[in-house]
Amino acid sequence: MKKLSFTITIVVLILFFTNRIQAQTDTKAEKLMKALKSVDCTSAKVIVTSVDSVDYMDKDNFSILMYASAYGCTEVVKVLLEKGAMLDLQKNTGETALMMASSAGHSEALKLLLNKGAKLDIQNTEGVTALHVAVISKQIETLKMLLDRGVKLDLQENHGATALFIASQNGYSEVVKLLLDKGADLELPLKDGTTPLMKASENGNKEVVTLLLDKGAKLDGQNNEGWTALIFASQKGQNEVVKLLLDKRAKLDWQDNGGFTALMIASQFGHIEVVKLLLERGAKLDLQVPSGPTALIIASAQGNTDVVKLLLESGANKELKTLEGKKALDYAKNTDIETLLTETKRKQ
């Protein structure tokens, strides 16, 4: 009985001292994290030498290496790696130290991680990679480093966006050029079928549109709704991009899955300058969607008086009817449009 009691006492003492050591270690790690979060790299450099739990993670699921990489404390990163810190630990949302260094543009920390063999293409729970975040943050130097190390160019996050899509969307022409020069896929779309060219056109990023077209992007490609780059640009009133696409001979009268053309969409949203451009290039005035509305009927229903006037002056047929048997006049949203439709004679 005494022997058993003695054994239990020893075990309790071992557990006690182990817990004390662990608590002291964790306290040092927490102290190090506090210094890193304050971007006090000088203090962190001193503290890290006495930290044994190099893979300690805080309540927010950040590791010490993640903090050091995120805040650019290069010397701390170096010591942690020398002590054997795990390179590819991930937060509960999947981010790694490499992603954090890439996003923040800390090229020296990134170089240390890469030289130690950090995995380039890990995706977080949203499918985002280090390349994605470098592009989102427009970190040119870290982007170049990732590209030089052979990062996968065309990985898609959960909605389908590639690095090229994100750069095109945001108008980052320098980034787009770098990605294109490395051979990024021009046509990989979002899940809804939207391509980098469509998104760049929608956002009026003329320089990016030019770069994509020069590399061979499909001018008249369609998304799942049948929208082309021209329709996207027309909807947002992107005059310069519309002109560029028309100069490249985009299909003027392409109808989407619902029968809508760029002219109809521009008329709906009241983009008078786009309507002018489309008409000057010979867009068909009186095309109808299956239910009957024309550009004129749509503009009338939306109350876009200036567009109605321009369409009528260009020869739009105000007598065309919808399947309900109604004309543009029946949909007129204001008295000015009613007057225009009543008094204007159709151009011969």
DSSP 227-239: --HHHHHHHTT-H
Lookup: tokens for 148:
């030089």
Say how far apart CA 29 and CA 34 lie, in whole Å: 9
Tens of pLDDT, residues 268-309: 999 999 999 999 999 999 999 999 999 999 999 999 999 999
Q: What sign does the CA torsion over 79, 85, 88, 90 have? A: negative
Query: For the residues 72-96, what does the mean pLDDT come to?
Result: 97
180-186, long-range: CB < 8 A, 24+ apart: 180/211, 180/212, 180/215, 182/147, 182/153, 183/153, 184/153, 184/154, 185/153, 185/154, 186/212, 186/215, 186/216, 186/217, 186/218
Quick one: pLDDT band at residue 25, thresholds 50, 70, 90? Answer: very low
Q: What is the pLDDT of residue 345?
A: 57
pLDDT at 160 over 70: yes
Euclidean distance between CA atoms 11 and 226, whole angstroms:
72
Task: Label residue 27 by pLDDT band (50, 70, 90).
Answer: confident
Encode pLDDT of 163-192 as tens digits: 999 999 999 999 999 999 999 999 999 999
For residue range 314-327, what is the model confidence (pLDDT) as tens digits?
999 999 999 999 99
In this model, does residue 20 exceed pLDDT 70? no
CB atoms within 10 A of CB 134: 29
Domains of the chain: 1-120 (1.25.40.20), 252-348 (1.25.40.20)
Is the pLDDT score of 1 beyond 90?
no
Task: Give the pLDDT score at 343.
Answer: 85
With contact defined as beta carbons under 8 Å apart, do 256 and 225 qualify?
yes
What is the C-alpha separation between 338 and 50, in angstroms, rounded? Answer: 82
Mean pLDDT lowest among 21-35, 112-126, 154-168: 21-35
Tokens of 342: 């009543």
With a cut of 60, say whether residue 146 has pLDDT above it. Answer: yes
pLDDT at 108 over 90: yes
Is the model's pLDDT at 19 over the cut of 80?
Answer: no
Q: Which band of pLDDT confidence, cut at 50, 70 and 90, is reported for residue 344?
A: low
pLDDT at 14: 37
Q: Is the pLDDT of residue 35 over 60?
A: yes
What percent of the chain shows pLDDT beyond 70? 91
For residues 290 and 267, the answer to whether their CB atoms sit within 8 Å is: no
Two structure tokens written together for 205: 């990023």
Backbone φ, ψ for residue 202 (5° rounding): -60, -40
pLDDT tens for each residue of 215-245: 999 999 999 999 999 999 999 999 999 999 9
Asked if residue 187 lies in contact with residue 194, where contact means CB atoms within 8 angstroms, the answer is no
18 compared with 166, residue with greater pLDDT: 166
Per-residue model confidence (pLDDT) at position 24: 42
- The rounded mean pLDDT for the chain is 92
Q: Which residues of 257-287 are buried (b: 16+ CB within 10 A; e: fewer)?
A: eeebbbbbbbbbbbbbebbebbbeeebebeb
Report d(CA 288, CA 278) in Å as an integer. 16
pLDDT above 60 for 11: no
Percent residues over pLDDT 90 in the chain: 89
